[in-house]
Homo-oligomer: A and B are copies of this chain.
Amino acid sequence: MISASVTDFGQLTTARGNCGTIGDTVTNCGMVPDSVQLRQPVNFLVVQTSPETSMSPEFQQRAAELIDAGRLLYSMGMVPATSGNFSARLKDNTLAITVSGRHKGHLTPADIMLADATGRSLDGNRPSAETLLHVQIYHRFPEACCILHPHSVNATLLSLLADADIELRDYEILKAFPGIDTHECKITVPVFANDQDISRLATVVATRMADTNEVFHGYLIRGHGFYTWGNSVKDALRHVEAFEFLFDCEMRRKGVSHE
């Protein structure tokens, strides 16, 4: 790798000449020995090395966690194509959120942007079309610091087959959600009709959640996937894993001819 450098014009240069520009994914271009190569080709991402980004260390840490979360969820088949979106709330109430239209399984720092608490872009990028759903959740749940919206086959099918709210009970894994310490309980997962008018959909969600005595851990949008959140990226991921397990169980029960 020692023969590779990035020029002032953002081009990666090796003995072979220009191999790409910042942001490109490039294959080996004179950076590893020629006579043998790894059977599994390695791709390199050309990165900006100077000047340093002006984003805060907190933003960068959260962005790194969202990038990791995307790779994990993609490996589980939960964010195919460019579906899904993620965000984290920073201490100053701004949001690190995925840029609109990016592939969630291959996120780079350039795919995470900064928005204010109302979802307005603070860095010129365009946030996810569903940003207002994130804003509604952060408003309703003051403790929430991360929102993940995966798009699994199980969630999609379950939401299409459900006439009303989903009720989950008698599963030990329900204890993955905060405040639940026994399988002898029931959690309700609202199912909302899909709507491309996100402002209107956010209002529908807010209305359903107006009763602050009812406990919510996530919700489904019909034919679209689910939203869940937590006090950290790690907590939100735990809730994603628990919901996906539960949705998988519920869907497979529908396919059992003897039940």
State the A residues within 8 Å of B (CB): 1-2, 4-6, 12, 25, 27, 31, 33-47, 49, 60-61, 64, 67-68, 71, 80-83, 103, 106, 151, 153, 156-157, 160-161, 170-173, 176, 181-184, 194, 196, 221-225, 234, 238-239, 241-242, 244-245, 248-249, 251-259
Asked if A37 meets B45 with Cβ closer than 8 Å, knowing A81-B242, A249-B157, the reply is yes
Given A223-B170, A223-B183, residue A47 in contact with residue B68 (CB < 8 A): no
> How near does chain B come to A75, taking the closest CB pair, in angstroms?
9
A36–B31 CB distance below 8 A: yes
What would 25 A/B residue contacts be, using CB atoms closer than 8 Å? A1-B35, A6-B35, A27-B64, A35-B47, A36-B46, A37-B44, A80-B245, A81-B239, A81-B241, A151-B172, A151-B173, A153-B245, A156-B172, A156-B245, A157-B256, A160-B170, A160-B253, A161-B258, A171-B223, A172-B223, A183-B194, A183-B223, A254-B258, A254-B259, A255-B255
A257 to B245, CA, bound (A): 20
User: Which of B49, B234, B248 has a CB less than 8 Å from the CB of A153?
Assistant: B248
When distances are taken between beta carbons in the complex, the residues of chain B under 8 Å from A252 are: 153, 157, 251, 255
- Report the nearest B residue to A169, measured CB to CB: B223
> Taking the full assembly, how many copies of this chain does it contain?
4
Return chain B residues, CB-CB under 8 Å to A259: 161, 254
Known contacts A68-B43, A173-B151, A183-B223, A80 near B160 by CB under 8 Å: no
Shortest Cβ distance from residue A46 to the other chain B in the assembled complex, whole angstroms: 6
8 A-B pairs with least C-beta separation: A172-B224, A81-B176, A34-B49, A80-B241, A39-B43, A81-B242, A27-B64, A81-B241
